[in-house]
Amino acid sequence: MTEFVRKRVANAKNDILSGLTVALALVPEAVAFAFVAGVDPLVGLYAAFMIGLITSIFGGRPGMISGATGALAVVMVSLVAEGNAMGAEGEQLGLYYLFATVILMGVIQMLAGVFKLGKFVRLIPHPVMMGFVNGLAIVIFLSQLGMFPDMVSEDVSFWGDMGTWFSEFFTSLTTNGSIWIMLGFVLLTMLIMWGLPKIKATAKLPEALIAILIVSAIVILGKLDAATVGSFIRDGGGEGLKGGLPQFQFDIFNKVPMNWETLYFIGPYAIILAAIGLIESLMTLNLIDELTETRGNSNRECLAQGGANIVTGLFGGMGGCAMIGQSIINIKGGGRTRLSGIVAAVTLLMFILFASGLIEQVPIAALVGVMFMVVIGTFAWSSFRILNKIPLTDAIVLISVSLLTVFFDLAVAVIAGVIMSALAFAWENAKKIRARKHIKEDGTKVYEIWGPLFFGSIQAFNAKFDVANDPENVEIDFMESRVSDHSALEAIFNLVGKYEEAGKKVRVKHLSEECQALMIKASPRLASVIEHDIDDPRYHVMAKVMK
């Protein structure tokens, strides 16, 4: 017990300081994502507090930070708008439909944990992981550009009209002096974060927290005209950070009709949000695993994320998932245990309850500088070095996932990347099927099959045989092959049938016991064709019962 306590206490200082840093960085992110979703800032802040606290205590990855995220917020925009349209004239029900959707989203995520679907994150290839990291770094960078005051018109999209965007951007640089002030503080923040680790005396202090405090002190004491958290909230239409404890939302059950029509409306949104949330959380979990050289529990994380979203929906939060930027800030700041996430969540609540006035004075520039350093640390710069050294298909997947993450969303990018990788893998393995042929002394022709036999290699497999011109006795040996799926079994079944129709005797050797059982079950007459041997291999076949 003493050893257990000693290990937990040893890193307590780092966890607490890192948690404080993360709490400061969570404020503008949660507020910004609430504005994106079209809801009050407190809805985003409550979500960050509740999800962060619950996942920190019960999640499968100590040190990982969860909260309201942009990946989910962009999906919620149309949900809130359509929900508002469904109410009576002047009645805004979008927020309550959002809460109901977040609750259903949490149920779906918990079911994923119960059925242990989190393990399937292991199927995500490394090029997809690198593409996800690069794409997310770009998304974080672009989201921070929106923090600069009046830089580009709100109705001008970076990807929709790049020419206009850059034109307004450079015009602002020459006419808007406040942008240069903010840019200077951003660079100062980044310089402090870069230089502090090189000073041994500050090596154990979170450089992000020190940078935020220094820049905040300069702006406040110098009474400089710089954008702050408070001005950012007011410019977005909010009234401030001041709020009370989250309240149970009884109105959800009064204003949202509990019927099939509601389920039909919120169901697709809940599924999309659950998928995006789990994919981002589990991929962030994998990334933190690599950074800390430890192993998280993906199924436990699914349960925690689902439970957190159910609670936050019931208590007036917008839902969320793991946040890669804040998680990396935490890990880089020394946060390793659950304490860091708990401190971040509780500190965020304290900001809302008691310290809103102080937090509203923190310059946005300091927080943007921290996030820019996160972008630099997140982006897999090694991908440029290895692009010409890895297989072409992997390079295409890496670039595609990066672009899809930026243009669409994380779920689309990862699913597309996994499909592309799977198809490329199947194509490459389909070309590896071989057949060595020789004639025995008694005139029997032997086909020694080498390579994987599955749906992709069936055509090449069939092309190896010459049923019409083969001798009366044929032997097919699968010792160096592996029958992988139902399509492969069907191919063997059909091949034997062709030889029998031609009046020739065929023997099949060295199939696994499961292959033999499945084929004989499909057609008992094959029992005389399949040859049993003590050297028969043993492996599982992904197949359905043949008819």
Query: In this model, does residue 445 exceed pLDDT 90?
Result: yes
Backbone phi, psi, residue 151, to 5° = -75, -45
- For the chain, what percent of residues have pLDDT higher than 90? 25
Rounded Cα distance between 81 and 390, Å, is 45
Residue 422's pLDDT is 87
If pLDDT is split at 50, 70 and 90, which confidence band does 208 have? confident
Query: In this model, does residue 360 exceed pLDDT 90?
Result: no
Q: Average pLDDT, stretch 349-367? A: 83
Q: What is the pLDDT of residues 82-92, one digit of tens each?
A: 888 776 665 67
Which of 486, 495, 429, 490 is CA-nearest to residue 467? 495
Q: What is the pLDDT of residues 267-286, one digit of tens each?
A: 999 998 998 899 889 888 98
More confident residue, 344 or 74: 344
Query: In this model, does residue 361 exceed pLDDT 80?
Result: yes
Query: In this model, does residue 310 exceed pLDDT 90?
Result: yes
Q: What is the pLDDT of residues 98-155, one digit of tens each?
A: 999 999 999 999 999 999 888 777 777 888 888 878 887 887 787 777 777 666 666 6
Q: What share of the chain is helix, strand, coil (3-state, %, to 5)?
A: 65, 5, 25
| DSSP letters for 293-355 | T----HHHHHHHHHHHHHHHHHTT----EE-HHHHHHHHHTT--SHHHHHHHHHHHHHHHHT-
Q: What is the pLDDT of residues 491-523, one digit of tens each?
A: 988 999 899 899 999 999 888 888 888 888 877
Residue 336's pLDDT is 86
Residue 151's pLDDT is 64
Which of 58, 106, 15 is CA-nearest to residue 337? 15
